[in-house]
Amino acid sequence: MPAAFPKLRTLLVLGRISNLPTVWSNCLAAWLLNGGHSWNNFFVLCLGATLLYIGGMFLNDAFDVVFDRQFRQERPIPSGQISACAVWMIGSALLLLGWLSLLLLGLSVALVALLLVGAIIYYDAVHKRTIYAPLLMAACRFLLYLVAASATLHVVNDAVTWHGLALAAYITGLSCLARGESVQEKISFWPFLLLVAPLIANAIHSHFRSGMSWLTSALLLAWMLWCLHGIRRSAARPIGKSVAGLLAGIVLVDWAAVPWMDDEFNLVFLGLFVLALILQRKIPAT
């Protein structure tokens, strides 16, 4: 029987909070790329994005309850740590609160955020039944970029669009690798090509980048190679750690996307990357 009062860890696992630093780095990168200045708006943006992400993760488990009872009985609902009804209610409430938070930033932000909410729910509902799930997840991150850029109250510029699309390609490649974790087949080569899309975008879109930006791009490449070195083209490949590392690498993708920034923002991105790695040691990222 599900626990009446779930433990805090159960809620953190359901929300997959180890990935929250990547949500905040998405917001910060798109904010900086679009020339954001009002930091009060930025903190409201991060609050709304956090609520949307956690709510989406809760509903992910709610939609997956039948699958998890068969194949992932350690998850909070099938293991009796919390009821499916409670997860539905909490997830739905968080999505609503997240959207209402973003509504405070203006109607244009709220309309883009509404598209994001729809994409989150659609992904949660169908991701186990479609081969296009990686594209849906990528669309969620791209829409988050647009939400964050819109929150600056400026017209969304080309830099946000191109770097958002590059991030979406990275997410697609990462998601394809994650979906193949339990498939006893060789991994296709094309997901690896998608992972380097942010590096290509960095090189093509803006040649006038700071030395720190180029250094961060090199760090991103080194991190990807480190994460992928353990993946063998065999049926018994260990890719769980690689996927978790690449998830934390989303922060590096965002960091490298901004061509110029003050030193304090470099420290923020570095802190978010380290925080993601620390949280992954406590709460599973997938």
Asked if pLDDT for residue 146 goes beyond 50, the answer is yes
Class of the CATH-defined domain 10-280: mainly alpha
Kindly write down the DSSP assignment for every residue of 73-117, as one continuous string: TTSTTTTTSS-HHHHHHHHHHHHHHHHHHHHTT-HHHHHHHHHHH
Query: What pLDDT, on the 0 to 100 scale, is given for residue 1?
Result: 53
Express each pLDDT in 162-178 by its tens digit.
999 999 999 999 998 88
pLDDT band of 183, cuts 50, 70, 90: very low
Asked if pLDDT for residue 201 goes beyond 90, the answer is yes
25, two tokens: 């780095």
What does the alpha-carbon distance between residue 112 and residue 117 come to, in Å, rounded to a whole number? 9
Query: What pLDDT, on the 0 to 100 scale, is given for residue 235?
Result: 43
Query: What pLDDT, on the 0 to 100 scale, is given for residue 5?
Result: 62
Query: What pLDDT, on the 0 to 100 scale, is given for residue 186?
Result: 58
169, two tokens: 């390609």
pLDDT band of 231, cuts 50, 70, 90: low
Query: What pLDDT, on the 0 to 100 scale, is given for residue 187?
Result: 63
Per domain, the residue ranges of the chain are 10-280
pLDDT band of 69, cuts 50, 70, 90: confident
Query: What pLDDT, on the 0 to 100 scale, is given for residue 174?
Result: 93
What does the alpha-carbon distance between residue 248 and residue 230 come to, in Å, rounded to a whole number? 17
Average pLDDT, the chain: 90
Express each pLDDT in 136-145 by its tens digit.
999 999 999 9
Residue scoring higher pLDDT (128 or 184): 128
What does the alpha-carbon distance between residue 88 and residue 90 come to, in Å, rounded to a whole number? 6
pTM of the model: 0.92
Residue range 8-18: average pLDDT?
Answer: 93
Residue type, 173: G
Report the phi/psi class of residue 153: left, alpha or beta, with left for phi > 0 and alpha for psi in -120 to 50.
left
